[in-house]
Structure 1
Amino acid sequence: MSDKSEQKVETIENAGVTEFRETRGQRVKRHCVRRWWIYLIATLLVILAVVLGIIFGIIPKIAQDSVNDSTLQVDAIAITNPSNERFTLSMNSTAHSHAPVSAHFSPQTFEMYLPTTEGEQPVTFMTLSVGRLDIKDTLTINVSDVVTEILDKTAYDEFSTQVLNNEKLSLGIRSNPEVNVGSIKFKVDYQKTVELMGLNGLKGIELYNPEILDEPLEDGTNMITDGMIPNPSSFTLQVGDLTVDIAVGPQKLGWSVVKDLTLYPGDNKVKIYNHITPALLDVPIFVASLQAPNTNITLTANSTVFNGEHISWLEKPLHDAPPVIAVLNPQ
């Protein structure tokens, strides 16, 4: 075969071969097909990060904001069976909030303290444990007959003083409850200050129907009167035997006892057992004064005894407070 024929055949063979170049899009597509599992994992990780961010970031913040915006109202407090170490506590309260999701609080413990000025650490003087609470827009929290230890006597003495002597007082309540949203659990900070009405120094006591006894009772009582002790607060307070010194102006009359006293909210009708200085009962002007209208009787608290024990956190505030003016035969 001649050289020209060989050249012709070679030209024809080369003509069947063409050079192919991939575009950028084709290369990316082919890479994705080969590495699809890497991109699937990356996508899942991004979704997981978003979900975890919602669970551990957004939802707890929403819950904490809801707690911060909530309000708490203490409707009633009962302190009974007092001693110098402990007492029995009951409390009814109502919380108002906006609950954006269905959730509940795990059992928690409320710490109670008197609010302090900025920079001072509040001192917890008693606690109250409550069970599971379903979070609702209006939440009722009622706890009854819980034996409560006095954790700090100085702080509790101050609380008792404010309850007995003040018209109003503030009480701090805090806890660190666990919120459960389905299977998700996280902590929130709960801290509220509630305003309470106090007993206002037992002002406004009224006395009626003084009766001089022909024969003194075994305990020495020689006059009995009816009485009304107002309690403008929401506290029920078991005092025990309350003893007071009584006088008219500078003239001391003797002393009186209200036995087994429990102060309930509102007007409390009581019997008062009086130990009048016997010599006064023979003075006609004194006997006549017992029937006079609007006679001011000065009462100075002496002691409070429950189950044979002097209750210092009741006795001292009452004794240290200014004397109370009771009105005999108010008109």
Structure 2
Amino acid sequence: MSDKDMKFETVEDARAVPVTRGQRFKRHCARRWWIYLIAGLVIALAAVLGIIFGAIPAIAQSSVNDSKLQVDGIAITSPSNTQFTLSMNSTVHAHTPVSASFSPQTFEMFLPPSDGQAIVPFMSLSIGSLKVADTFTINVSDVATNIMNEEAYLAFSEQVLRNPTLNLGVRSNPQVNVGAIKFHVDYQKTVELKGLNGLSGIKLYNPTILDTPMEDGTNMVTDGVIPNPSSFTLQVGDLTVDMALKSINMDLGYSVVKDLTLHPGDNKVKIYNHVKPELIKNLLFISSLKGKNTDILLTANSTVFNGEHITWLEKPLHDAPPVVAVLNPE
């Protein structure tokens, strides 16, 4: 056999060996490995981004939903019919699986509406940046606050003044910062607060008739204690009330508590009474001043601060049932 024939047979044998699909794929990968590396990285990056921009915001929203807001104290001072000064101390209890912070945000406050009714905020409060932890505080002091809706704020004031408890709604849409990741969550909570319970439980002591009335007409002064079972500090101004002897429904005149600010707890005040002149020497009236546990009916007449009648204080107090104050309680 010649060399030429030998070479032909070798070529024929080589062409006869089949190449499998796996072998072709390996050769393809060997030549284009960089394409598959990039594709793998893109897939991995997409998965990571999905976790970051999907799971983390969802976890944060769930943590916000499960958190609890506790209002420790609210102070409403320098009242007017359009604005007031607001201070608030509160505590948030939350489970925070990641380190995060809130950018500055604005709280809107409202009375929780009935089913089907829209939320009507009556005031807002700007809050600075907050570092989120399992327990953290939100405290603001002396913030000038506008009344956003007079009717809604009047309803809120009525509940604060008259009721033993009330619900306050708080909402915001803060930006959450988790490292370089930023997103917004919906924050909405309802907290139960203690109200002033109609100023019930007022006690009066040491009624003293003045031989010579003061320049403003005060002819009797009394010491008083006004309880405030709530967490509200409320600056009222000059509070004027009509007074009557309950046992015989005798109109006695009116009384003024000057520069009244109600702090949580018992508030000791000086009361300036304008008793009708014809009653000053009335034996029945004088005996009632000396008796024990004498019930005096008090009906709010007006509240004045800086010369202005404060409607959202004056109206709820005036429209409420008379308060029974006990003179010389045992």
Give TM-score, length-normalised by structure 1: 0.96
How many pairs align? Answer: 325
Instruction: Detail structure 1 runs of 4+ shifted over 6 Å in the superposition.
Output: none
Answer with 1 or 2: which has the greater Rg.
1
User: Is residue 154 from structure 1 mapped to residue 148 from structure 2 by the alignment?
Assistant: no
| Aligned pairs (5 A) from 1:176-215 | 176-215=173-212
* Alignment of 1:238 onto 2:232: no
Choose which of 6, 25, 35 in structure 2 pairs with 1:12.
Answer: 6
Aligned twin of 2:245: 248
**Residue in 2 aligned with 1:47?**
44
Task: Say which SS state the counterpart of residue 117 (structure 1) adopts.
Answer: coil
Partner of 1:324: 323
Is residue 283 of structure 2 the alignment partner of residue 289 of structure 1?
A: no
1:229 maps to 2:223: no
Quick one: structure 1 residues 56 and 9, their matched pair in 2 at CA, closer, same or farther if it must change by over 3 Å? closer
C-alpha spacing 1:182/1:9, structure 2 compared with 1 (3 Å) = closer
> Which residue in 1 is equivalent to 2:93?
96
Give 2:55's match in structure 1, choosing from 49, 55, 58.
Answer: 58
Letter of the aligned partner of 2:306 in structure 1? N
Match of 2:113 among 109, 112, 116: 116
Aligned to 1:83: 80
Residue 275 of structure 1 corresponds to: 274
Percent identity over paired residues = 69
What residue in structure 2 maps to residue 258 of structure 1? 257
1:170 corresponds to: 167
Q: Which runs of 5+ in 2 are unaligned?
A: none
Distance in 1 (alpha carbons) for counterparts of 2:290 and 2:7: 143
User: 3-state DSSP class of the match of 2:233?
Assistant: strand
Separation in 2, partners of 1:108, 1:152: 20
Which amino acid is the alignment partner of residue 285 of structure 2? Answer: F
1:70 aligns with 2:73: no
- 1:8: how far off? 4.5
Match for residue 303 of structure 2? 304
How much is the aligned-residue C-alpha RMSD, in angstroms?
A: 1.0
Offset at 1:135?
0.5
Distance 1:164 1:285 in 2: 33
Q: What are structure 1's unaligned runs of at least 5 residues?
A: 1-6
Q: Secondary structure at the match of 2:133?
A: coil
